[in-house]
Amino acid sequence: MAVPSPENASPAMAQWFTLKAQEPDALLFFRMGDFYELFFGDAQVASMALDIALTKRGTHNGAPIPMCGVPMGAAQTYLSRLIKRGFRVAVAEQLEQPRKGQKGPLKREIIRLVTPGTLTEDELLEAGRANFLLALAQGGRRRNCLGAAWVDVSTGHVETLSLPRAELAELLARLDPSEILLDPALETKDLPLRPGAATIRAPARLTPERARTRMAAAYKVAQLDALGEFSDEEATACALLLDYVRRSQAGQLPRLQRPLPTGQAGVMGLDPATRQSLEILQARDGTETHTLLSTVAHTVTAAGTRLLARWLSTPSTDPALIAARQDAWSWLGSEARSQAGLAQDLRQLLRSVPDCARALGRISTGRALPRDLAAVRDTLHLADLLTEKLAPYRTSAMPGAIRQLGAALYGRADSLLERLTAALAPTLPARLEDGGVIAAGFDPELDRLRSLRDDSRRVIARLQAELVGKYSINTLRIRHHSQLGYVIEVPASHGARLKERPELHYRQGTASLARFSSEELSQLDRTIAEASEQAATLERHLFETLAGHVLDTPALDEITAALAELDVYLACEKLAASGRWCRPKVTEDTRFTLRACRHPVVEAALEHQGGGRFMPNSCTLPPAHYVMLLTGPNMAGKSTFLRQTALAVILAQAGFPVPAEGAEIGVVDRLFSRVGAADDLARGRSTFMVEMTETAAILNQAGPRSLVVVDEIGRGTSTLDGLSIAWATLEALHSQLGARTIFATHFHELGALLGRLPHLTAATMSVREWEGEVVFQHEVKPGLAGRSWGLHVARLAGLPAAVLKRARRLLAHFEQERGGAGAVGVQPLPLFTAGLQAEPQLPDAAPPQAAAEDPRHEILEAFLADLDPDCLTPRQAHEALYRLQERLKGHLGNSPERNS
């Protein structure tokens, strides 16, 4: 954003230049009266981004200053649009009111930097989605390592991680950060940072020592070790992050939770391609309606939805942790408790729980609204009610996770609850400035000031009645005037008479009325103004004291976390209660069985469209046969089967129920899914390049504990290349990596490997032919596909009849060449041998007898049918002939007789 030299600037512009220099990377919203104004390059950029008028205001060094502005009242909307587009905005406010005879510009300061990753306002955030700012730091001694730290400022959640550079893509896919802050020392050349993401360099480098000191100071501990073990790069990333957050809140660090050094251990590996292919939190097209999350999120609170999303995107590899989560929801849904309606009752209470985590975020950034304090009060109150509901079930059978929730929830902040209940008025205004936030009876001084203010108002009402009588003017009114204060207003016709009264002072007159003041009124005016001002000041003070109490209550973090967790368990309970989702057994070995498993998203879509029943399928990959070769035509349900298997693993290891009759899963350490790879045109790579890069990633990372589901490897190149690559990949997965694998392919030739690879089995999608139509049964059964059905599917898709006919002839020819229709790899590989032969003999492109099927006949027939020779003049007949010639010309290129 171009900023000219500040020399010779007018006083107001000089102030603009100073503030702009403080935040050169942000658009400066410069408050002027009722507008935020933007100047120079900022104005050009913002006017375009917001589609508002770009005008000029004054000149700077002889050139007009480009300017645009947004009104105060609509600022939030404009701000939100800029932030969504990745801009940062520095808000500079007027810190004083204009005074009479004031010289020079008003005092202004940047009170806040609004950036995509540091938001706290509900209007700018999505309720069920975390909003992360991610900081990345260069590894010190370990050059190949990165330090990562991320925060959701709206809830105060902070985590850190040390990771190899190669794993950054995975972390980015998992967190989907709104903003990325980079260590100035970080080499970014090979990092997968999207050019469009809001990325910014931190202004200054930090040594690890300084970083540790800063972190310790921010969290008020003497030594950083008190918080956990952080690597140098983790500490650097975290300290940069804290500095940036502090800067965004104009120097004040909001209350953040203690950072959690997470480590990758214990989390299932899911690379970006896998996440994209499985549509866990987001569909490929960026929408969120048909995703795994949307199908299972039966949560009733926003914080619950955010936690559920976090669990789904970080499935665990720890069977004990998984079992603990399963115990919790199984217990909630057990027969005795479901008869008592426990889950429903808890859910009903949870529905009223406000988003306390985000309210705390605003309270700690000094942007608390009255309703934020009410949110804390209501949360504490509901937490007590929830634990009371759970109390009768406290027996030795209560699982640990629920017991801990109960302990985190009950009576943790009684004194705060009492205080807030007593302090807050029963109905609250939207803003503190509106007054009336603190309840009557809470603070005697506030009550006194309020009654002084209100009494004086009553006195004024009484005085008005008195004066009406005294001066015999029924229309006399006492009104408050913005400049004159309280005045007596009478119709102009009475003005002259009242001017004679010594106790009244004439102040102002218009054509229709006259205004007077009196000593008594001025005294009342002063009393009311003072009392109102004092009441407002005291109310603000009481409010801030309450906010301080809230921030001094660390139990609130645990309470909000426990409520979110309970919500997630109840969502799981709801899935399980349908009777169609089971509790999977997750074990330390490498077994793998899913009985009658379903794809939850496709199933829901079918139900929604009334499109018939979803066909469940089992999937077994026992240690003796851990690789499955899956064949079958397009549209038969291969991708659905692959995806549902992968989704079942994610659900199971996130600790959730699984849409199946039964499931036993030996814990999966990394899951690779390559199903329906999308073109990566944005990054200028061809489909085949993307496919090979993703295959390479699997072959370089998968191991005996991994699960690989791949579809159509090798389809993006020539048949021979593709078959060879698929063949070699399957061999490697089977014999070198030993990964549990489902390998879906169109290359039936791979069937030849069945005899050679001992752990390979074959399965196919069953298809029936009925009255010449292909019927997909979506059922997986043992064996290889008998034939391909590609032409049937092509017909369903509406390929022109002539092309289909030609393809059928060619197919018959090719099949004859390779030794009989439906031949599958059990014979020597025909395609390989075909490749070594001279050019195969193709059938004649168009034998003469095919003339009857020449598409031009159809055109000719249609054309003639439309003509009535009796109604044509010779000239029209001539023109018709030309038209016909034109139409047939379009088909000449395809004509079998082109060369004849």
3-state class of 406 per DSSP?
helix
**Rounded distance, CA 26 to CA 92, Å?**
11
Per CB under 6 A, the segment of 133-141, 182-190, 328-336, 612-620 that binds ligand ADP is 612-620
Q: Is the dihedral of CA 834, 839, 844, 846 positive or negative?
A: positive
Single-letter residue type at 592: F
The three-state DSSP-derived secondary structure of 721-764 is HHHHHHHHHHHHHHHHHCCEEEEECCCHHHHHHHCCCCCEEEEE
Kindly tell me which of 609 and 837 has the beta carbon lying closer to ligand ADP: 609
CB of 601 to ligand ADP, least distance (A): 10
- List the one residue from 67, 476, 531, 636 that touches ligand ADP (CB under 6 A): 636
C-beta of 60 vs 778, nearer to ligand ADP: 778
Rounded to the nearest 5 degrees, what angle is found at the Cα of 783, between the Cα atoms of 782 and 788? Answer: 125
| Cβ nearer to ligand ADP, comparing 15 with 617 | 617
Among the listed ranges 80-88, 356-364, 404-412, 633-641, the one in contact with ligand ADP (CB under 6 A) is 633-641
Instruction: Give the burial class of 271: count Cβ atoms within 10 A of its Cβ; 0-12 exposed, 13-18 middle, 19 or more buried.
Output: buried
* Binder of ligand ADP out of 29, 311, 516, 614 (CB under 6 A): 614
Looking at beta carbons only, is 254 or 637 nearer to ligand ADP?
637
Which residues, other chains included, contact 848 with Cβ-Cβ below 8 Å and sequence gap of 6+?
Answer: none
Beta bridge partner(s), residue 71: 35
Of 224 and 650, CB closest to ligand ADP:
650
Does 764 engage in binding with ligand ADP (CB under 6 A)? no
* Contact flag: residue 792 with ligand ADP (CB under 6 A): no
Minimum distance between the CB of residue 142 and ligand ADP, rounded to whole angstroms?
43
Minimum gap (Å) between residue 617 Cβ and ligand ADP: 6
Q: How many residues bind ligand ADP (CB under 6 A)?
A: 13
Are 779 and 788 in contact by the 8 Å Cβ rule? The answer is: no
For β-strands 27-32 and 63-71, DSSP reports them as: unpaired
d(CA 492, CA 298): 69
Rounded least distance, CB 748 to ligand ADP, Å = 14
User: At 790, is the secondary structure helix, strand, or coil?
Assistant: helix
Q: Looking at 32-40, 464-472, 620-628, 632-640, which segment touches ligand ADP (CB under 6 A)? A: 632-640
Q: Which of 778, 784, 792, 846 binds ligand ADP (CB under 6 A)?
A: 778
Closest approach of ligand ADP to the CB of residue 694, in Å: 17
Binding mask 252-271 for ligand ADP (x = CB under 6 A): --------------------
What is the full DSSP assignment across 85-109?
Answer: TT--EEEEEE-S---TT--SPPPEE
CB closer to ligand ADP out of 370 and 632: 632
Q: Give the nearer residue to ligand ADP in terms of CB position, either 518 or 639.
A: 639
CB of 606 to ligand ADP, least distance (A): 6
CA 486 to chain CA centroid, Å, is 54
Annotate each residue in 421-440 with x if it binds ligand ADP (CB under 6 A) or - if it does not, as one string: --------------------
Nearer to ligand ADP, 793 or 850 (CB): 793
291/640 with CB nearer ligand ADP: 640
Determine, following the binding rule CB under 6 A, whether residue 788 of this chain makes contact with ligand ADP.
Answer: no
Q: Does 637 bind ligand ADP (CB under 6 A)?
A: yes
Region binding ligand ADP by CB under 6 A among candidate stretches 143-151, 219-227, 478-486, 634-642? 634-642
Q: Which one, 139 or 722, has the nearer CB to ligand ADP?
A: 722
Distance CA 749, CA 827 (A): 9
Of 396-404, 560-568, 629-637, 798-806, which segment contacts ligand ADP by CB under 6 A? 629-637
DSSP at 72: G
Using the minimum distance from each CB to ligand ADP, give the nearer residue, 17 or 614: 614
User: By three-state DSSP, how is residue 333 classified?
Assistant: coil
- Nearest residue (CB) to ligand ADP, 577 versus 642: 642
Among 120, 276, 277, 640, contact with ligand ADP (rule: CB under 6 A)? 640
d(CA 420, CA 422): 5
Which residue sits closest to ligand ADP, CB atoms considered?
Answer: 637
* Minimum CB distance to ligand ADP smaller for 311 or for 614: 614
* Greatest C-alpha distance within the chain: 124
- CB 641 to ligand ADP: min, Å: 7
Question: Of 20-28, 275-283, 631-639, 838-846, which segment contacts ligand ADP by CB under 6 A?
Answer: 631-639
| One residue of 12, 14, 19, 635 binding ligand ADP per CB under 6 A | 635
Which of 38, 405, 615, 658 touches ligand ADP by CB under 6 A?
A: 615
Pick the closer one to ligand ADP by CB: 249 or 276: 276
Q: Which is nearer to ligand ADP, 138 or 640 (CB)?
A: 640
Rounded Cα–Cα distance for residues 580 and 576 (Å): 7
Q: Which residue has the tokens 């690779």?
A: 672
Q: Which 581-610 residues touch ligand ADP, going by CB under 6 A?
A: 602
Of 481-510, binders to ligand ADP (CB under 6 A) are none
Pick between residue 139 and residue 637 the one whose CB is nearest to ligand ADP: 637
Q: What is the residue-wise DSSP string for 680-718?
A: BGGGTB-HHHHHHHHHHHHHHH--TT-EEEEE-TTTTS-
Picking from 296, 350, 281, the residue whose alpha carbon sits closest to that of residue 578 is: 296
Assess contact for 78 and 70: CB atoms under 8 A: yes
Report the C-alpha gap between 48 and 765 in whole angstroms: 53
**Least Å distance between CB 603 and ligand ADP?**
8
For residue 687, the minimal CB distance to ligand ADP (Å) is 16
Name the minimum Å distance from CB 42 to ligand ADP.
Answer: 49
Judged by beta carbon, residue 797 or residue 836, the one nearer ligand ADP is: 797
Q: Which window, 628-636, 723-731, 834-842, 844-852, contacts ligand ADP (CB under 6 A)?
A: 628-636
Tell which residue, 628, 624, 619, 631, has the closest CA to residue 661. 619
CB of 635 to ligand ADP, least distance (A): 5
CB of 612 to ligand ADP, least distance (A): 7
Give per-residue burial for 860-886: e unless 16+ CB within 10 Å, then b. Answer: eeeeeeeeeeeeeeeeeeeebeeeeee
Residue with tokens 């009733």: 300
Closer CB to ligand ADP, 219 or 743, in the complex: 743
Q: Starting at the earlier edge strand, list the strands of the sheet with 269-270.
A: 269-270, 670-674, 707-711, 740-744, 627-631, 760-770, 773-782
Q: With b meaning 16 or more CB within 10 Å and e meaning fewer, what string describes 601-636?
A: bbbbebeeeeeeebbbbebebeeeebbbbbbbbbbb
Listed in sequence order, the residues at least 6 apart from 414 whose beta carbon sits closer than 8 Å to its beta carbon are none
Give yes or no for residue 634 binding ligand ADP (CB under 6 A).
yes
* Cβ burial, residue 811 (10 Å; 0-12/13-18/19+): middle
Q: What is the nearest approach in angstroms of ligand ADP to the Cβ of residue 640?
A: 3
Do the Cβ atoms of 312 and 338 come closer than 8 Å?
A: no
Rule CB under 6 A: which residues touch ligand ADP? 602, 614-615, 617, 632, 634-640, 778
